[in-house]
Amino acid sequence: MTSRTLDERTGTHIFLKCENFQRSGAFKARGAFNAVLQLPEAEATRGVAAHSSGNHGGALALVARECGIPCYVVMPAGAPRAKVDAVRGYGGHVIECAPTMDAREAKLAEVLAETGAHEVHPYDDPRVIAGAGTAAAELLDEHPDIQLVIAPVSGGGLLSGTAIASHGINPGCRIWGAEPTGADDAYRSLERKELEPRTEGSTVADGLVATLSARTFAILSEHVEGIVRVEDAEILDAMRLLFERCKLVVEPSGAAALAGVFAFPEVLPERVGVILSGGNLDFGTYDEFAKASTSDDDDD
């Protein structure tokens, strides 16, 4: 999708890749389907499992339902209700845990031992990364003259797939990531050229709190020009603008890439691709975010 408002605000041509329209409401369906459909039948019949703040879990539950196999998703307490309901709506079994990465991994290990299910990692899996990259491949197939692609970064699966696919099609295409300042381990890792742990922080972008793996760090180090850090207020402003002017419902994690574009309009090339990674947002939470957004877009 395109928008005159976005073009005027940035002084460039913006092309939105709307993964909020994807099955299960986010780009995660791409990687989940690609990974599960490659499993040998003997493994698949035991089911699949993952830890997830929501979007990967929903996508995994969806593909498991399509394949007629069990799905177990470990979700942190406080995960958005819309995302929890989506996992259950697709037939997935939700196992709640404390809202820390250590707790998620420990609980998942218990689930795997009890069920014999196959783990489909949200991002540290070549099949998941390849599936995620098909979003950028479609974008550049339709608009091969795009000069910069920006995607949000959390564990790095989407940005890794975006970078590999984009450079496979157009080696000269520039790649940026966008990350909340409250969860900026990818920014620090690329700046310091070593894998950095996530520090204690918070962000409205619940889908962007994972940390890079050694695999995704290596890919991003080779292919990504840099990571743009954005404040929560900037994410909410981008989300509000997408809703009001583009009529798109996009969750905070999905709006982070557009917020990153707004942060540095003076260095943008003529044609920019922005991946809106998802739109799984319940109405009550959106109302809270809307009240927190203070921007006035009347002149846009």
User: Are the CB atoms for 70 and 64 separated by under 8 Å?
Assistant: yes
The pLDDT > 70 percentage for the chain reads: 94
Q: Whole-angstrom Cα distance, residue 145 to residue 124?
A: 30
Domain ranges of the chain: 4-22+125-292, 28-119
Beta bridge partners of 227: 177
Q: Is it the case that residue 295 has pLDDT exceeding 50?
A: no
Element (H, E) at 276: strand 271-276
The pLDDT assigned to 83 comes to 85
Which pair of structure tokens corresponds to residue 235? 């994410």
By CB neighbour count within 10 A (0-12 exposed, 13-18 middle, 19+ buried), where does 245 fall?
middle
pLDDT per residue as tens digits for the range 136-176 = 999 999 999 999 999 999 999 999 999 999 999 999 999 99
pLDDT per residue as tens digits for the range 55-78 = 899 999 999 999 999 999 999 988
Place of tokens 């760090």: 217
pLDDT per residue as tens digits for the range 15-24 = 999 999 999 9
Question: Could you say which architecture CATH assigns to the domain 4-22+125-292?
Answer: 3-Layer(aba) Sandwich (3.40)
Q: What mean pLDDT comes out for the span 208-228?
A: 94
Mean pLDDT of the chain: 92
pLDDT per residue as tens digits for the range 23-38 = 999 999 999 999 999 9
Of 25, 20, 50, 31, nearest to 210 by C-alpha is: 50
The pLDDT assigned to 255 comes to 96
Of 201, 173, 206, nearest to 187 by C-alpha is: 201
Place of tokens 């299910």: 117
Q: Is it the case that residue 41 has pLDDT exceeding 60?
A: yes
Question: Could you say which architecture CATH assigns to the domain 28-119?
Answer: 3-Layer(aba) Sandwich (3.40)
Query: What are the residues whose beta carbons fall under 8 Å from the beta carbon of 282, sequence distance 6 or more?
Result: 80, 81, 82
> For 222-237, b where at least 16 C-beta lie within 10 A, e where not — what string?
ebbeebbbbebebbbb
Place of tokens 């997830």: 52
Helix count (H) and strand count (E) of the chain? 13, 9
Task: Return the minimum-mean-pLDDT range out of 101-115, 203-217, 279-293.
Answer: 279-293
Which pair of structure tokens corresponds to residue 289? 């975010």
Q: Whole-angstrom Cα distance, residue 171 to residue 178?
A: 20
Please list the helix, strand and coil fractions of the chain in percent, rounded to the nearest 5, in that order.
50, 15, 30
- Reported as a pLDDT band with limits 50, 70 and 90, residue 286 is low
Query: What are the residues whose beta carbons fall under 8 Å from the beta carbon of 122, sequence distance 6 or more?
Result: 28, 50, 51, 52, 56, 128, 155, 157, 210
Long-range contacts (CB closer than 8 Å, 24 or more residues apart) made by 265-269: 265/9, 265/10, 265/11, 265/12, 268/10, 268/11, 268/12, 268/148, 269/12, 269/147, 269/148, 269/174
Q: Would you say the CATH fold of 28-119 matches that of 4-22+125-292? A: yes
